[in-house]
Chains A and B, each alone.
Chain A
């Protein structure tokens, strides 16, 4: 059975740290090792940065879904007035980081609501 943690943040650069903290805490509680926790922390940061782009208004919704051996993170953006748009897929550096640190990731901005997601499996078996 999945555990779901939801976080809503104003789109402000100085609050992305809260997404990282949540990612690290959820991963820690799921018995990810230190390296995996750090990987997920950076991957969630990259997901948020890609999702937000150069926007400075609106709200970001994050869902952390913890299963037996993996964590999935979904992010969507509700833009502020005058800031609607298709969103942007991760750029070169973000793409490389996500490719290296998580098992799957994706981006969808077709319907005007940018959505990004990633999934990281735990390598180590639970004791």
Chain B
């Protein structure tokens, strides 16, 4: 589980990438990025999430996102990424088999 809070932009996206890479390197079958406390996200951060999803898919792992804030969900929607990601509204839902 990677928990993210606050504003994820061009300045903070590298830290997100590091945390996701660490989670993927642990090779658990499920990687969850909890974005429920994220207040701002831009295309740089979305690009990091897309890269992590591709890494997971390449390694036969599943990646899920937790997005609770309508404003953040809107960004996934307008970029078409709700079709790409498995998005759940709570952590409990995200860790279900």
Looking at B46, B47, B78, the one whose CB has the most chain A CB atoms below 10 A away is B78
Given contacts A93-B47, A97-B75, A97-B78, contact A45 B11 (CB under 8 A): no
Query: Within the assembled complex, what's the spacing in Å between the Cα atoms of A101 and B11?
Result: 22
Looking at B9, B42, B71, the one whose CB has the most chain A CB atoms below 10 A away is B42
Q: Which residue of A lies closest to B45 (CB)?
A: A93
Instruction: Give the number of chain B interface residues (Cβ < 8 Å).
Output: 15
Partner of A101, one of B40, B44, B78, B80: B78
Any chain B CB within 8 A of the CB of A13?
A: yes
Chain A contact patch, size range: 10 to 19
Any chain B CB within 8 A of the CB of A3?
A: no
Partner of A41, one of B40, B44, B46: B40
By DSSP majority rule, is chain A's interface helix, strand, loop, or mixed? helix
User: B78 near A96 (CB under 8 angstroms)?
Assistant: yes
Q: Which of B27-51 contact A (CB under 8 A)?
A: 40, 42-44, 46-47
User: B9 near A17 (CB under 8 angstroms)?
Assistant: yes
Q: Which of A49-83 contact B (CB under 8 A)?
A: 49, 52
User: A16 near B40 (CB under 8 angstroms)?
Assistant: no
Closest beta carbon of chain A to B70's beta carbon, Å: 10
Residues of chain A with a CB closer than 8 A to B43's CB: 46, 49, 91, 93-94, 97
Query: Within the assembled complex, what's the spacing in Å between the Cα atoms of A96 and B10?
Result: 17
Query: Within the assembled complex, what's the spacing in Å between the Cα atoms of A11 and B10?
Result: 12
Residues of B within 8 A of A (CB): 7, 9-11, 40, 42-44, 46-47, 71, 75, 78-80
Top 4 A-B pairs, shortest CB-CB distance: A93-B43, A100-B78, A13-B11, A14-B11
